[in-house]
Structure 1
């Protein structure tokens, strides 16, 4: 029996469920991909495509279990005493409070946990609806608030441990070698083995109940996961190692990415006559207008490593010199106003206007929209003047829609991540970067491919874990509305709901993820592909472990913990921006009372609103 009188509640609840999923993508998923984009292992647009694919796969294959915890683990369905209308209103208020809070924080580039926002909101409406005694404050077989909030302290610490362990393994095996380049190339299959095994394990080990993989014997699970990882490692050894050998050791800058299919034939490929440079990107982040050249940026000491391998005595040339560390700003030219003499807000405004000027020169839809907004400001007088109404609805509104859809994909993430010379932030980040060891670009290049795989794993883990944030309450609302029974919340989550919200998460990543990504990349510690894949793998393992026990855990907290753990592997506390870490921790803690209070007050007002009957 459909509760037609509560259709408006269902519609409002659906809107806020989708808004919560959108915020989830713009906040947590953007954070998961920020490491790869910051390390220049992948472009923002490539991250959007891969993020969409793996978010959906993780959500559909594994996501149903965490949704069950959100649905029934905090407020037992029996507490509503069969009143489906009150149950619908409760979860609608929870979604409204959580999504509004996260949206406000994302707007101001404050990175908060959408997981804990929703959990706190559900607890708040629980207190307002059925009283504090009915809320599952304890462990509740791993599904109560006690178990969930235990992850607030455990998840970042565990993730930091995993991330640091993986990076220290890379550091000992490769970075600390006298000649790290060949070690990086020939050990690459090992990292593919680890990444492939973890990714497969996340699907197979206690996998989707609908696939029945959790009923397989342990030997079968171990065989499939290790077998898949081993197969990936063999493919890497057969195709990837020869590709790296030709590109780096042979200095063949004519080798293209698609030539990887040639496999061992690349060992016999003759390099060009003037093989004097290596075709690897510059993984440092610098602030200048010119396009960075794809050249070697290794230190003079490391240049001799490949010379020993080739025994030909030649040295690669570089167009930029030794710039293999992140540069915060260029030295002010004589006669120009120093950055120290400018206000920070002025510098930021100038940088944004410079970026917008570049966008206005584009030939596509975004260029048209930016030019339209720039050439058609609201005129003098009130906005309801006829002239201004025409400008608004016929020119600005269509252009604003286009900008909203395409602005994020074209955002200059790298320029927004570094500090600005002369400001407190710039000086602080300069100290953080100086405290981190810089490794040759040729070595880092080998891990950029592994990092793409680990980023996909992290995205899969996020889809498996965080889809429950939005789909759990939405499934309760839909079940109560469509059946008229509060007990319907115990029913399995429909697959179509998971698919719809996973697409909405991807939309948030694509259109608004830049707002979080620009502050979460290089603002905590120095990033590079070898560090980035360690961070992502550590976070992915942690999220998947919690997900297997049906415990929603913040992906944001996990990747932040892994980032700090890897940063500390530099051997000094100065390699971590503790101010940024402190602000993140404060925002995480504040989320609990703020989201819970907003949801509880909203529910209390709506539940006790006077109404009249005939």
Structure 2
């Protein structure tokens, strides 16, 4: 039986479930790939492809097939008293509150956990529905709000410790050597062993509840994980080491990526004339670019003739006042510098070919004129702008220059702050960093797979409950089956969020906390993965996003100075985490309370 009178609630709940999944991709998944993109191990477009593929694989193949309707034990299952309408309304309000808060935070580049947002919103809905006394405020076997608060503090600190340990291992074994390149090449199988083992454990314990691998005996799990790690180590020794040796030690400009299957035969490759440098990318965070933001402040205060603009005439002999007046007149405001940087970025976009370039040019050339919107001229302009706005909205993230945005606008407080932070981080040879870029891609893909398999439940759980109550006519039971099509739909929406809006979080979670590089980035990702595994063994809720943030700070401190970390940005992130719980909870509770007690009339 379908509750046709509640179809509108189902439609609204579906919309907010999609919005929550979109925010999940734009926030959590983008955060998982931020270190790889920031380290230049992979481009944003490549991250979109790999992220989409592995999110779908994780969600569809080994994703959770049940949804816990009481959401980790926070709302008692009997609070709904078998009323399907109340249950649908409750989870719709929770999704609306959580998705609205995360969307606002993502818009302002504030990184928060969509998981914590949803759980907090459900708690608020539980207070409005069943009363504060019936909400699980304590530990509740690691599923209550007490465990959530504990994870909020412990997870980032523990993740920082693990990530720092891994990076210090790389630093001692490789970076501190007089000639680090050979050490990076010939020790790489060992780090593939570590990464492969951690990634396999992530899939076993964090990403594959449907396969039941975590229920196997300890010896079985150890054999599988160590076997995969050892196998990856062997493959790296046979195929990766010869390939990277030829590329970064012999500096063979002719070796291509598709030659790695030749394996040891590459050692016998005919010697070519040694180049001055290896054919590897430049992994520096700030790179020279004549049209980049780094040149914005160089023209500040100059007119077309290159002369300083003169401030207002000041009478008297007060030299200090005159100097201050001229400085104020010559210095551009923060908003002006940001606007210039945005305009230079948009100028690059308008010069591009294809649909996106057309859309950006159309929006630039067809601005609304004077008068009201309903003026005939403005109405015609709006009709021209609408298709361009749709195209630009879908493709803007693909063409966004994340690296330029991360380094800050030169001349602004943010730009100067990041310049000081980068100055305290030692830069390692590109040949060394290139070796670890492959390890980092492996860890990022595994993180995306585990996210799709495990965290998909955070978005699909409430939607499955709403759909089940609507389609059956009764309140869903403690375990409601989740159809595969729902997993696939929300996994695609998550990927859409990563592709179209993920840049807003990446530009903050990348190099605006500390200096990134592939060796640092893979340490961050492995440290975060270990922490998530540790917490999952004790059934404690933990946010992958918070773990990667803690790992980023831990690796940043390995530079040997507190000044190598942007503590202002870290403080803002921690503040956003803390405020998520009361704000999302209050939004959900107030919305549920208003709708639940709205006067209505029966026919």
TM value normalised by structure 1: 0.90
Asked if residue 591 in structure 1 is aligned to residue 580 in structure 2, the reply is yes
Distance of 2:451 and 2:458 partners within structure 1: 11
Q: CA deviation at 1:167?
A: 0.7
Q: CA deviation at 1:498?
A: 1.9
Aligned to 1:364: 354
Contact 1:546-1:552 within 8 A present in 2 as well: yes
Aligned to 2:25: 25
Q: CA deviation at 1:552?
A: 3.7
Distance of 2:77 and 2:243 partners within structure 1: 57
Aligned to 1:312: none
SS of match in other structure, 2:7: helix
Distance of 1:547 and 1:349 partners within structure 2: 45
The alignment yields a C-alpha RMSD, in angstroms, of 2.3
Structure 1: which 5+ runs fail to align? 293-326
Q: CA deviation at 1:287?
A: 5.1
Q: CA deviation at 1:61?
A: 5.1
Aligned to 2:433: 444
Asked if residue 275 in structure 1 is aligned to residue 275 in structure 2, the reply is yes
Aligned to 2:168: 168
Aligned to 1:78: 78
Asked if residue 352 in structure 1 is aligned to residue 352 in structure 2, the reply is no
Distance of 2:356 and 2:238 partners within structure 1: 43
Aligned to 1:430: 419
* CA distance 1:241–1:72, change in 2 (3 Å): closer
Aligned to 1:263: 263
Distance of 1:383 and 1:267 partners within structure 2: 69
Deviations 1:263-297 (A, max 9, x none): 112112234335232111111122543599xxxxx
- Single out whichever of 192-201 and 442-451 deviates more from structure 2: 192-201
Deviations 1:149-189 (A, max 9, x none): 32111111121111111111111111122221111000111
Once the two structures are superposed, the pairs formed by residues 252-401 of structure 1 within 5 Å of their partners are 252-286=252-286, 288-289=288-289, 332=298, 335=306, 341-393=331-383, 395-401=384-390
Aligned to 2:315: none
Deviations 1:197-251 (A, max 9, x none): 1222222348634323334332222211111111111111111111111111111
Distance of 2:372 and 2:296 partners within structure 1: 44
Asked if residue 529 in structure 1 is aligned to residue 518 in structure 2, the reply is yes
Contact 1:207-1:214 within 8 A present in 2 as well: no
Distance of 2:192 and 2:308 partners within structure 1: 49
Q: CA deviation at 1:29?
A: 1.1
Distance of 1:277 and 1:151 partners within structure 2: 46
Distance of 1:174 and 1:330 partners within structure 2: 37
- Single out whichever of 375-384 and 486-495 deviates more from structure 2: 486-495
Q: CA deviation at 1:551?
A: 4.1
Q: CA deviation at 1:608?
A: 0.7
Distance of 2:205 and 2:19 partners within structure 1: 31
Contact 2:65-2:210 within 8 A present in 1 as well: no
Distance of 2:294 and 2:362 partners within structure 1: 33
Distance of 2:354 and 2:207 partners within structure 1: 44
Distance of 1:506 and 1:188 partners within structure 2: 31
Contact 2:407-2:511 within 8 A present in 1 as well: yes
* CA distance 1:520–1:422, change in 2 (3 Å): same
* CA distance 1:537–1:86, change in 2 (3 Å): same
TM value normalised by structure 2: 0.91
Q: CA deviation at 1:453?
A: 0.6
* CA distance 1:128–1:404, change in 2 (3 Å): same
SS of match in other structure, 2:481: coil
SS of match in other structure, 2:428: coil
Q: CA deviation at 1:71?
A: 2.9
Q: CA deviation at 1:421?
A: 3.1
Distance of 1:70 and 1:571 partners within structure 2: 46
Aligned to 2:104: 104
Distance of 2:75 and 2:23 partners within structure 1: 24
Distance of 1:211 and 1:533 partners within structure 2: 27
Aligned to 1:130: 130
**Count of residue pairs brought into register by the alignment:** 579
Once the two structures are superposed, the pairs formed by residues 84-95 of structure 1 within 5 Å of their partners are 84-95=84-95
Asked if residue 576 in structure 1 is aligned to residue 565 in structure 2, the reply is yes
Asked if residue 509 in structure 1 is aligned to residue 531 in structure 2, the reply is no
Deviations 1:328-348 (A, max 9, x none): 669948948799822221111
Distance of 1:460 and 1:118 partners within structure 2: 21
Deviations 1:354-399 (A, max 9, x none): 1111111112110111111112122322112233223213x11111
Contact 1:164-1:562 within 8 A present in 2 as well: yes
Distance of 2:172 and 2:155 partners within structure 1: 26
* CA distance 1:170–1:72, change in 2 (3 Å): closer
* CA distance 1:31–1:359, change in 2 (3 Å): same
SS of match in other structure, 1:491: strand
Distance of 2:391 and 2:533 partners within structure 1: 37
Asked if residue 565 in structure 1 is aligned to residue 543 in structure 2, the reply is no
Q: CA deviation at 1:131?
A: 0.4
Contact 1:67-1:467 within 8 A present in 2 as well: no
Contact 1:66-1:551 within 8 A present in 2 as well: no
Q: CA deviation at 1:72?
A: 5.0
Contact 2:56-2:488 within 8 A present in 1 as well: yes
Distance of 1:169 and 1:163 partners within structure 2: 10
Structure 2: which 5+ runs fail to align? 310-326
- Single out whichever of 136-145 and 164-173 deviates more from structure 2: 136-145
1:416 to 405, 423, 431: 405
SS of match in other structure, 1:178: coil
Asked if residue 485 in structure 1 is aligned to residue 474 in structure 2, the reply is yes
Contact 2:29-2:498 within 8 A present in 1 as well: yes
Aligned to 1:307: none
Aligned to 1:68: 68
Distance of 1:167 and 1:230 partners within structure 2: 21
Aligned to 1:220: 220
Deviations 1:5-44 (A, max 9, x none): 1111111101101100101111111111111111111001
* CA distance 1:70–1:245, change in 2 (3 Å): farther
- Single out whichever of 135-144 and 207-216 deviates more from structure 2: 207-216
Q: CA deviation at 1:62?
A: 5.3
